[in-house]
Structure 1
């Protein structure tokens, strides 16, 4: 994810086509809230084109029809769980070239360029999942059932939909004595008001690698993945810790992944406990210390335990890979921020980790802090990988895809896989 620093800027409701407006029914519950800023972007032409050209334009309309038939909260919750999980599996199957089954049971042949019905968008694309999920959350957010829905119940449905459609409830590892276990996370697209066409290669990587096995010289390892939102409030509410806590003690290696700088990978050495305030996907800004449980014991810095030297030395793909150590700190006794190329000094206060001060830094900070609080610092290799910025071909300022864009994304996915394999080999042989 593009890093945001104090001394730098960022580097680098018509409903879905065919979707009927949710029926408004007199309800005993509170009035339904309006769609979020993030959901309102669905009205624009680019999301509609991405959904149509991927075959995912059927997801929200069919879900909306099923939701209107739900006559109790329990039935709605079962529907949300089933359809959220099915959307995640459909996106993973599409990315990995398998025949897909839509959330409502529609069979579709995944082929190069799409998910059936004449779709022609490259199957490695992460954007169909992102925009289809927003179609589902908007349906739930604006739904007014006859039986009445409390604010807490609506929030519960939205939370369950988010978690299931992001793969956060779909992490499955083999039993002891079989494969090694690798956990990898990605992100949604972001900076959509700058360019709504944007894709996030970390999310695409999560879809491409979920449930796959990499062969290392020390034996096979299974990768399980999940995707996270680009929203400050979700992180403050503990979505990272809730998702990762059950699995880190069982993992042999983990890495959070996000989009970083143009033309390079970075293995981020140090993570900082600071939010820099850049707007998230809901156009919300947050500045201050990363909010965590037990703040009295919260460190200003956490560090990677990935084998970064091995990764940097290996030939993993076309993009150079760097051991990135620079941070921004307020030195002990100091009053203003100072850039430190070799990491923080003792007693300093964080203002940007090696990965910046946005949510990419925060997920790395939270995941490695959780690792340390679980007593796994010495035994569990983990940290953050920043991918290159995913770029369109030269001269493309309007089209949603082009051959260079697809090639760049495929190369990034392949190189993340190679980086994870190298890290696993280096870890397992020690």
Structure 2
């Protein structure tokens, strides 16, 4: 599709509006703490995805609680009754959008207005939550929802044109306050669910705490914008509880983490 065509422009407007890129507004926050939360589309919508196979599921039943969390928290009345004001958006699982700076375009616009930024995504097949200690500049190349990427998945003939490893492997660390969340521990229990602080990959050349897929990359790009600022910015990996019916439990844990950070 030719860029700048009428159809292309229409699609861009739809993306911006439906994902809430252009509707984020903190003007009514008053004296409340201003928080930006981001979620993702479902990962691996391709029906022959290794991810879906490993989950024992198919593309039609794939879900990502981070997108649901973002939808729930945006201007949520319960949150409005607290001392914070949340705005959210949902990013696509597409390398092209990331390479066109979809994250930077949103985060840079609001960085100086907010008190906290927390990106979220699904923690693979893990039934625990992770506050990621770091993110790496390296992109691992697992295929996206447009079947782009994947040197490791060449048997599917996926396009690897977006797979660009960073030989410098820079790590950016979180500024989400681990002491406020965990105290002197590396994990805590919230509503009988485990939340961990994961800094196990700080010396890796190819992985951050959240691996090297787009959930890692969104944290890297966001913390790069943060730079040397101590403002709380980082990534929260949401537990996979096996069914969308348990998303309320994921929302409750996420809300408790936000309260711990912003208190």
Scaled to the shorter chain, the TM-score interval is 0.7 to 0.9
Shift of 1:165: 0.4
Aligned partner of 1:74 in structure 2 is: none
Aligned partner of 1:158 in structure 2 is: 11
Shift of 1:390: 4.0
Distance in 1 (alpha carbons) for counterparts of 2:88 and 2:3:
30
Equivalences for residues 137-152 of structure 1 within 5 A:
151-152=3-4
Aligned partner of 2:104 in structure 1 is: 241
Distance in 1 (alpha carbons) for counterparts of 2:241 and 2:128:
11
Aligned partner of 2:181 in structure 1 is: 311
- Structure 1 pair 299/156, CA: closer, same or farther in 2 (3 Å)? farther
Q: Unaligned regions of 5+ residues in structure 1, if any?
A: 1-32, 34-149, 291-297, 328-342, 393-404, 426-430
Aligned partner of 1:198 in structure 2 is: 62
Aligned partner of 2:94 in structure 1 is: 231
Aligned partner of 1:417 in structure 2 is: 255
Q: Unaligned regions of 5+ residues in structure 2, if any?
A: 53-57, 150-161
Shift of 1:315: 5.0
1:181 aligns to 2:34 (yes or no): yes
Aligned partner of 1:264 in structure 2 is: 128
Shift of 1:413: 1.1
Distance in 1 (alpha carbons) for counterparts of 2:241 and 2:90:
17
8 Å contact kept, 1:273–1:350: no
Distance in 1 (alpha carbons) for counterparts of 2:17 and 2:80:
28
Aligned partner of 2:232 in structure 1 is: 381
Which among 338, 342, 356 is matched to residue 211 of structure 2?
Answer: 356
Aligned partner of 1:367 in structure 2 is: 222
Shift of 1:163: 1.2
Shift of 1:248: 1.0
- Larger RCO (alpha carbons 8 Å, 6+ apart): 2
Structure 1 segments of 4 or more deviating over 6 A?
Answer: none
Aligned residues: 232
1:287 aligns to 2:151 (yes or no): no
1:301 aligns to 2:156 (yes or no): no
Shift of 1:203: 0.3
SS at match of 2:85: strand
Shift of 1:264: 0.4
8 Å contact kept, 1:188–1:227: yes
Shift of 1:215: 7.7
Shift of 1:303: 0.8
Equivalences for residues 52-201 of structure 1 within 5 A:
151-153=3-5, 154-174=7-27, 177-192=30-45, 193=47, 194=52, 195-196=58-59, 197-201=61-65
8 Å contact kept, 2:135–2:208: yes
SS at match of 1:214: helix
RMSD: 2.2
